[in-house]
């Protein structure tokens, strides 16, 4: 009998967990499992703000996919997906094509600029290893130019968005400033980190007490907040912002856009019904009308029954979806057992404020300061444990808790 072909697209949180679960569930004689990813490595997206600020080297954040999967059970193809043809059960890669019986789409997110003029051309985004490395190198280069050119905009970093990613990034950068000041012989008072947020508060949706803690902590470290202020345009010279009728130009050589993500646009281009790159999946994580196509991570859209709004795209939900999808594929392939409905078990959220501070809600309780920071590291290490057991935690984990 022909072995079913299972193809997983994208080695993010969802794709990796699905793959390692599938390799545990299936013997080599039962199914052909293939994982496709554009890089040879998997990276922890949730650490990218540290790479971008330069407080953590990107080699710590990424891991070689072949060191994590069992290559005797899973074929890994390093290539870029350019199209998915669900009607033909085919995937077009840049260098080849694949047929599948069951497909898992886990192609993650991309930056969303909401049509704001000039952002695509003039702003960086913390979307992957390359982007994070580019931001770190760019900031260092601009700072190195200051002693020669003495232009203030070289030392001004503007961050668009005081949501989770924006706040985590400015916190890391604020921690790094003293080191950069020393390295490049800079006047400390000239270094500016300006965080611009259109909503009436930083960290919209977070508990107000936690938000106040975060903002005060960051202001003490020199971060300037422009809350209730919208970025109207990014230009070669910086950004133009507006608060009500007041319009202002902030001159800056470094603008980082951290205020919006959407699902990978390839998902809509392939003909799936999607909202901003996210497919509204059925209760078993399948694309509507395609019982052989499962969706994980930021490519999936699930409505929270408690408030009738989509769950925010997070690593936490992507990991849980990976478990569910692997189980449901095993049941479908074998034709026995029960399909499991996906139900999100929200364990909480922790936002880091540098390596030694943070805020969050864990199992319904608010946490601040070092406790939140320890919790964040526990969450990061837990993921590595799920992916590759204790050895991976020892190799790549965050083991320095204080």
Ligand X SMILES: Cc1cc2nc3c(=O)[nH]c(=O)nc-3n(C[C@H](O)[C@H](O)[C@H](O)COP(=O)(O)OP(=O)(O)OC[C@H]3O[C@@H](n4cnc5c(N)ncnc54)[C@H](O)[C@@H]3O)c2cc1C
Cβ distance to ligand X smaller for residue 125 or 332: 125
Binding mask 282-321 for ligand X (x = CB under 6 A): --------------xxxx-------------xxxx-x---
Please identify which residue in 19, 23, 45, 229 interacts with ligand X, judged by CB under 6 A: 45
Pull the structure tokens for residue 156. 């001004």
Distance CA(234)–CA(159), nearest Å, equals: 12
Task: State the catalytic residue, choosing from 50, 110, 112, 168.
Answer: 168
Q: 81 Cβ partners below 8 Å, 6+ apart?
A: 9, 10, 36, 38, 91, 92, 93, 107, 266
Closest to ligand X by CB, 201 or 265: 265
Query: Whole-number minimum distance, CB 184 to ligand X, in Å?
Result: 25
Minimum distance from CB of 178 to ligand X (Å)? 22
Contacting residues for 175 by C-beta, under 8 A, at least 6 apart: 53, 55, 221, 354, 355
238 binds ligand X, rule: CB under 6 A: no
Min CB(90)–ligand X separation in Å: 15
Residue in 37, 55, 113, 252 binding ligand X, rule: CB under 6 A: 37
Q: Quick check: 55 binds ligand X (CB under 6 A)?
A: no
80 contacts ligand X (rule: CB under 6 A): yes
Determine if 13 is a binding residue for ligand X (CB under 6 A): yes
168 is known as an active-site residue: yes
Nearer to ligand X, 11 or 63 (CB): 11
Query: Between residues 156 and 264, which has the closer beta carbon with respect to ligand X?
Result: 264
Nearer to ligand X, 154 or 325 (CB): 325
CA atoms within 13 A on the CB side of 262: 14
With a CB cutoff of 8 Å and minimum separation 6, the contacts of 82 are 92, 93, 94, 266
Q: Closer to ligand X by CB, 10 or 238: give it.
A: 10
Please report whether residue 46 would count as binding ligand X according to CB under 6 A.
yes
First to last CA, the chain: 56
Residues 345-384 that bind ligand X (CB under 6 A): none
Give the residue, chosen from 4, 14, 163, 354, that forms a contact with ligand X under the rule CB under 6 A: 14
Looking at residues 104 to 133 of the shown chain, list those that interact with ligand X (rule: CB under 6 A): 106-109, 126, 128
Minimum CB distance to ligand X, residue 129 (Å): 8
Does 49 sit near ligand X (CB under 6 A)? Answer: yes
Nearer to ligand X, 46 or 156 (CB): 46
Applying the rule CB under 6 A, the residues between 242 and 281 that interact with ligand X are: 264, 266
Q: How far is the CB of 223 from ligand X (least distance, A)?
A: 17
Is residue 160 a contact point for ligand X (CB under 6 A)? no
Binding ligand X by CB under 6 A: which of 6, 7, 35, 48? 48
Considering the complex, what minimum distance in angstroms separates the CB of residue 145 from ligand X?
Answer: 26
Give the shortest CB-135-to-ligand X separation in angstroms.
11
Max CA distance (Å), the chain:
72
Residues of this chain that bind ligand X (CB under 6 A): 10-15, 36-39, 42, 45-46, 48-49, 80-81, 106-109, 126, 128, 164-165, 168, 264, 266, 296-299, 313-316, 318
Known catalytic residues? 168
């Amino acid at each position: 009998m022909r072995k079913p072909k299972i193809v997983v697209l994208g080695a993010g949180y969802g794709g990796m967990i699905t793959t390692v679960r599938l390799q545990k569930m299936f013997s080599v004689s039962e199914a052909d499992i293939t994982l496709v990813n554009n890089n040879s490595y998997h990276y922890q997206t949730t650490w990218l703000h540290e790479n971008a600020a330069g407080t953590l080297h990107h080699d710590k954040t990424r891991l070689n996919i072949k060191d994590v999967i069992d290559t005797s059970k899973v074929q890994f193809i390093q290539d870029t997906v350019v199209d998915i043809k669900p009607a033909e059960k085919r995937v077009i890669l840049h260098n080849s094509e694949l047929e599948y019986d069951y497909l898992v789409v886990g192609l993650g997110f991309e930056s969303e600029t909401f049509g704001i003029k000039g952002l695509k051309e003039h702003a960086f985004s913390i979307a992957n290893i390359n982007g994070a490395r580019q931001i770190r190198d760019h900031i260092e280069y601009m700072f190195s130019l200051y002693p020669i050119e003495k232009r203030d905009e070289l030392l001004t970093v503007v961050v668009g968005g005081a949501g989770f990613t924006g706040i985590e990034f400015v916190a890391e950068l604020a921690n790094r400033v003293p080191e950069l000041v020393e390295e490049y012989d800079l006047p400390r008072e000239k270094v500016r980190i300006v965080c611009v947020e259109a909503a009436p508060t930083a960290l919209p949706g977070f508990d107000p007490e936690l938000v106040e803690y975060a903002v005060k902590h960051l202001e003490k470290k020199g971060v300037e907040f422009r809350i209730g202020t919208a970025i109207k345009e990014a230009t070669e010279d910086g950004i133009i912002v507006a608060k009500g009728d007041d319009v202002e130009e902030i001159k800056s050589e470094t603008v980082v856009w951290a205020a919006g993500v959407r699902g990978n646009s390839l998902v809509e281009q392939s003909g799936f019904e999607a909202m901003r790159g996210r497919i509204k999946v059925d209760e078993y994580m399948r694309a509507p009308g395609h019982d052989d196509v499962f969706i994980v991570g930021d490519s999936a859209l699930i409505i929270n029954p408690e408030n009738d709004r989509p769950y925010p795209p997070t690593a936490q939900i992507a990991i849980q979806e990976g478990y569910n999808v692997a189980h449901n594929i095993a049941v479908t392939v074998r034709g026995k057992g029960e399909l499991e409905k996906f139900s999100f078990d929200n364990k909480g959220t922790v936002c880091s404020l540098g390596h030694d501070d943070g805020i969050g809600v864990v199992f319904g309780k608010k946490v601040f300061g070092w406790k939140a920071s320890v919790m964040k590291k526990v969450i990061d290490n837990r993921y590595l444990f799920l992916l590759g057991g204790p050895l991976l935690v020892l190799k790549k984990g965050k083991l320095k808790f204080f």
